Structure 1
Amino acid sequence: MSERASESSAQRRPHGHRRCDACGEAELEVFGDLGEIPVLCGVHWADRDEAAHSPVGQMTLAACPACGYVRNVAFDPAVMVYDTTMDTNLHHSPAFQAFSAELCKRLADRYDLRGKRVLDVGCGQGEFLRELCHVGGATGHGFDAMYAGPAGPDPSGAVLHSGYAPRGAALPEYDLFTTRHWFEHLDDPYEFLVDLRLRANGRVVHGYIEVPDAGYDLSTAGWEVIYPHVSYFDAYALAKIVERAGWTVEDSGTFFHGMFRYIEISANKAASGATAALLTDRDRTLAAVAGFAARHHDERERWEQRIAQLVADGANPVMWGAGSRGVQFLTLADRTRQLAAVVDVNPRKWGRYLPVTAHRVEAPERLSELRPKAVIITNPAYRTEIAAQLAALGVDAELLVA
């Protein structure tokens, strides 16, 4: 069974009649319809026509009134495919590299990883696990269907696997599991946590889960509300699902300008009672949910009009960033490709086409020729980094954060 385990018949119900995956206490209530959006927002095509005809899926958001958990109740796991053609790697950014390195040191020190075993589910291209094993003196196994590198042991102590993590007794034993920006992709996140706890087999083990923060994403335009993200968690909903699965909450907070939510958990330790302290986070998310539909559609219309005006004014506007946020923004605000270019620092994307809109991705150096007067970005965490890169390219442009 893969991480995308099938749900029980009691959970799989028509849209709007699904019990909460996090707390299990209430039925989800529909609050937003984004229509059809790209399914494979991390894939980049060599052929423009293939990109334009890449699959779309329905996004219907529903929230739990009890805990604030949010899910796309129209999600269809049959259309969501993960393989080595998908590239969601953020390690080309110096800002993200620095954050990841600091996190590795924090976890290595906190859990005294020397000689211990790490399990990284959804390891991407393995950068985080390699560094964590290296700085912590640990060994580990990393699994990801998107992993495109050599499989097997690595000098860092990591063993990397291209494919979904096995389940049950086939899962490697571990002292610390990590899953960063994968938990929200799971069709059944509760079952995943239960399986990990059972694999602990009565030992005290720890876990680190990192997801996009639902409170942040739902209180903004929602460019990170994408098809591969089945679930949206704030601190309270994340605590409820891990406790319901038999884990204990040790710590929770945000990183990376408040955009990433983390929770640290343990199995086979006394309950901490930490969840009650997170109720304010739930209330913030439910307030964001209440205004999301109107805010999202207003932002879509506003940015479509603004791009048209920038073009009319001769600003030669471009977009920096061809990740999932960028793909969603382009789909909703520039489907007719009015922007002069889309650039990204990841060389694997250069010369390839984005899903549905079929924008061609260029290297940042292209901007030296285009001389745009406006550069749109969708992630404020990279603003300083991108501004410095524009200056190095000799491009004097206004940075606009969508």
Structure 2
Amino acid sequence: MNQLSRLEVAGLDHLTRPVDHVCPNCGHHQLFVFYEVYNVPVHSCLMLSTQQEALDFPCGDIILGLCDRCGFITNIAFNSKWSAYAPNYEDQQSFSPTFNQFSLDLANRLVEKYDLHNKNIVEIGCSKGDFLLLLCELGNNRGVGIDPSAVPGRVNTEAAERVIFVPHYYSEQHAKYVGDFICCRHTLEHIQPTAEFVKTVRFSIGDRTDTTVFFEIPDATRILQHLTFEDIYYEHCSYFTPGTLARLFRSCGFEVIDLYRAYGQQYLLIETQPVAIPSTQVHPLENSVEQTAEAVKHFVTQIDQKLTHWQQYLEKMQAQGKRIVIWGSGSKCVAFLTTLNTIDKIQYVVDINPHRHGKFIPGVGKEIMPPEFLQEYQPDQVIVMNPIYCQEIQQMLDNLGISTKVITL
């Protein structure tokens, strides 16, 4: 195929603009820009102590480019100098019963499938260590967690004495931490040199072909097909479909053992093992570059309509004097409000994570309130940032005696 044929087939050639930019996944020297959002906060989950600090927070741009060679999508305006992950980076989701059940089911599955008992486990990008500690608890394993935002002692578990935390960004200097099982959840999307990163993991394993490597990331297919603009924010500089993820791992010396979606089809999970000669066998879930181009076309032609709908909806609610609250103060909330440029249309944001309460959202400036605040405020509507939490949120509202309309994106 010639260079533009995939885009021409999808009818994308007139809906994008070519730029000279190296694809971090395959090294191709041209990408095609299809979505742009300007002046958004460069972090969503750093907890800030004052409103002014939050309002003065640095901003950057999102300019998504598609590689027509491998199907990878990246933010060409991303600058890694803003990757300031630290203990005050608060992305812990383990205060949700829904998320905890998902993590428990996943951990049990991996422990059983790969016989993770009395083994050495490494987690790259372990955050506060919830999942690593769970794996070590379930299989009496030993663990090493590598993450600059790690907070030892945050999670109370008997496995804590068998786990050490390394408060650094993962690099070749951590190659000594190999283990029988390497996992990396919701980290690769924060890294732009994706091939370099996965090759570093492969290098650390060397000739040990019995080490299993497991990654979990957001699925870009869902973002494109369902127009979930709230899942596009500055920290996420890399966007994978099943095809681009599988092709990346094969090109870096891994064989794909399994590839699947989970958590309401939001997450993409891959299980791999190192091999000397990667298999060319394509997993049934993998999509082609042409299919990704078709999904991008759908996004490009439909996204303005969705953005306009939400802008007009929030303006209408404000004009009617309705009290609108957002439930969930993380990245989706930041992307929702800043992409729409309607921060002034929402007065309060609530969250169940107690480590967020009383803090202010970067670039948005709203103080994060506990759910109990709603008993006094009595909102007319609660907009839930992630529909998978609707049932538990409704239950919490009922328990608090709050009668309000719950809507999702």
- The reply to whether residue 292 of structure 1 matches residue 299 of structure 2 is yes
Distance 1:322 1:345, change over 3 A: same
Distance 1:398 1:103, change over 3 A: same
Find out whether 1:238 has 2:245 as its counterpart. yes
| 3-state SS in 2 of match to 1:223 | helix
When residues 277 and 24 of structure 1 are mapped into structure 2, their CA distance, relative to the original with a 3 A threshold, is farther
Deviation at 1:37, TM superposition (A): 1.1
Give the 5 Å matches for 1:210-359. 210-219=216-225, 220-268=227-275, 271-275=278-282, 277-280=284-287, 282-333=289-340, 335-359=342-366
Per the TM alignment, residue 154 of structure 1 is displaced from its structure 2 partner at its CA by 5.2
Deviation at residue 259 of structure 1 after TM alignment: 0.3
Of 25-34 and 368-377, the range deviating more from structure 2: 25-34
TM-superposed CA distance for 1:284, in Å, is 4.5
Aligned to 1:3: none
1:184 to 183, 189, 195: 189
1:16 alignment partner AA: V
Instruction: Point out where structure 1 has 5 or more consecutive residues left out of the alignment.
Output: 1-14
Q: Distance in 1 between matches of 2:186 and 2:347?
A: 31
Q: What displacement does 1:280 show? A: 3.5
For 2:22, give the aligned amino acid. Answer: R
1:62 alignment partner, SS class: strand
The residue that corresponds to 1:35 in the other structure is 38
- Residue number among 91, 94, 114 corresponding to 1:91 in the alignment: 94
TM-superposed CA distance for 1:350, in Å, is 1.1
Residues 203-257 of structure 1: CA deviation (Å, up to 9, x unaligned): 1111000000000122223211111111000110001111111111111010100
Q: Match for 2:346: what amino acid?
A: L
Moved more, 194-203 or 20-29: 20-29
The answer to whether the Cα contact below 8 Å between 1:114 and 1:137 also exists between their aligned partners in 2 is yes
Q: CA deviation at 1:268?
A: 2.3
Paired letter, 1:183: L
What is the identity, as a one-letter code, of the residue corresponding to 1:366?
F
Could you say if the C-alpha distance between residues 117 and 202 of structure 1 is closer, same or farther in structure 2, counting changes exceeding 3 Å? same
TM-score normalised to the size of structure 1? 0.90
The structure-2 alpha-carbon separation of the partners of 1:390 and 1:145, relative to structure 1 and needing over 3 Å to count, comes to same
Which residue does the alignment assign to 1:394?
401
Q: Does 1:63 align with 2:66?
A: yes
Q: In structure 2, how many angstroms separate the alpha carbons of the residues matched to 1:47 and 1:206?
A: 44
Instruction: Report the equivalent of 1:124.
Output: 127
SS at match of 1:57: strand
Range moving further from structure 2, 165-174 or 357-366: 165-174
1:150, distance to aligned residue in structure 2 (A): 4.4
Q: Cα 1:373–1:400, aligned 2, differ >3 Å: closer, same or farther?
A: same
1:353 counterpart SS class: coil
Structure 2 residue corresponding to 1:74, chosen from 61, 74, 77:
77
Give the CA deviation at 1:137. Answer: 2.2
Cα distance in 2 for residues equivalent to 1:197 and 1:293: 36
Structure 1 partner of 2:198: 193
TM normalised by structure 2 equals 0.89
Aligned 8 A contact 1:122 1:143 in 2: yes
Q: Match of 2:48, as an amino acid?
A: W
Over aligned residue pairs, what C-alpha RMSD do you find? 2.2
* C-alpha displacement of 1:366: 1.0
Aligned counterpart, 1:161: 166
> Residue type of the partner of 1:319?
I
**Deviation readout 1:235-289 (Å, 9 max, x if unpaired):** 1000111111111111101010000001111002664434363454655432221
Q: Deviations over 1:7-28 (max 9, x none)?
A: xxxxxxxx82223332445732
Aligned AA (1:54)? F
Residue 101 in structure 1 maps to residue 104 in structure 2: yes
What SS does the aligned partner of 1:364 have?
Answer: coil
Shift of the 281–215 alpha-carbon distance from structure 1 to 2, 3 Å rule, reads: farther
Separation of aligned partners in 1, 2:52 and 2:288: 44
Q: For 2:280 and 2:250, locate their aligned partners in 1 and report how far apart those are by CA, in whole Å.
A: 10
Q: CA 1:134–1:154 in 2, change beyond 3 Å: closer, same or farther? A: closer
Contact 2:37 2:339 (C-alpha < 8 Å) held by counterparts:
no
Matched-pair contact (CA < 8 Å) for 2:253–2:278: no
- Bigger shift: residues 45-54 or 390-399: 390-399
Residue 10 of structure 2 is matched in structure 1 by: none
Q: Return the offset for 1:49.
A: 0.8
Residue 294 of structure 1 deviates from its aligned partner by 4.6
Contact 2:258 2:283 in 1 (8 A): no
CA contact (8 A) 1:318 1:340 kept: yes
Calculate percent identity across the aligned residue pairs. 29
Other structure's SS at 1:88 match: coil
The one-letter amino acid paired with 2:51 is: R
**Residue correspondences, number:** 388
Cα distance in 2, alignment partners of residues 100 and 54 from structure 1: 32
Residue of 380, 392, 395 corresponding to 2:387: 380
Identify if the C-alpha distance between structure 1 residues 287 and 156 changes in structure 2 by more than 3 Å, giving closer, same or farther. Answer: farther
Q: Is the 8 A contact 2:259 2:285 kept in 1?
A: no
Counterparts in 2 of 1:240 and 1:170: CA distance versus 1, 3 Å: closer
Q: Does the aligned pair in 1 maintain the 2:175–2:205 contact within 8 Å?
A: no
Could you tell me how far 1:168 is from its partner in structure 2? Answer: 4.6
Spell out structure 1 runs of 4+ moving beyond 4 A. Answer: 281-284
Give the direction of change, closer, same or farther, for the CA distance of 1:309–1:54 in structure 2 (3 Å limit): same
1:115 matched residue in structure 2? 118
